[in-house]
Amino acid sequence: MKPVALITGGGRGIGLGIARCLAREGYEIAIGDMHEAAAVQAALEELRGLGADALYCRADVTDRAARERMLDEIRSRFGRLNVLVNNAGVAPQVRADILEATEESYERVMRINLQGPYFLTQAAARWLIAQKQADAAFRGCIVNISSISATVASPSRGEYCISKAGVSMATRLWAARLGEFDIPVYEVRPGIIRTDMTAAVREKYDRLIGAGLLLQARWGLPEDVGRAVAMLARGDMAYSTGQAIVVDGGLTVPRL
């Protein structure tokens, strides 16, 4: 049987890039996202063209019942889950200086970027543990998509940075908890990736990249992140649970 991966926020952007790479690796794909089914139909057809049995689960990661329903749909369709990729996330609706930012924006970002994935991991981890206990040969892992904003401060979107720093700690917590079951947990930290989320600041980053912001002078692509996730899912870093893989074109390399 082919392994199964759930990618939240997988209908477009980084999530779809990850789904493509895992489909090419021979995974069946479950996409969890908020969009109407029609909005992700083209993505599902593309994944099926890559050989995956692609399932769409419309779910809000902040809603406990929706998270449980999504896992039930995967269980009903495939009967198994091998990889959870916590990718769903949002930027603040308004970039506001931290002297002016609102509690409402903070709460929204934290619920979507940190609280929802944390408790989805809890539910999925219980399922992964049960599969491991039933079959010692079972292989599974969890990958959290955070951001260089986990360590790089942006005072115009403080709630986003804090949420991603939380994802980084959640990775280490789950790695510590699931180590006894040989279920590794990883973090991938993308840098400047060309997606819908970054479309509004494209001109700004074009200028910065042209001025030498990155060691590798180009935008990152969703597939750059997807290949890193595929490497982890494949088991290429099986002895590195709890670690972060930085996919940022050298942005965070300290320089003089």
Calpha distance 188→118 (Å, rounded): 15
Calpha distance 58→67 (Å, rounded): 10
The catalytic residue among 118, 160, 186, 239 is 160
Calpha distance 16→10 (Å, rounded): 5
Residue 106 region by backbone torsions, left for phi larger than 0, else alpha for psi between -120 and 50, else beta:
alpha
13 close to 37: Cβ distance less than 8 angstroms: no
- Clarify whether 239 is annotated catalytic: no
Query: Which residue numbers are catalytic?
Result: 160
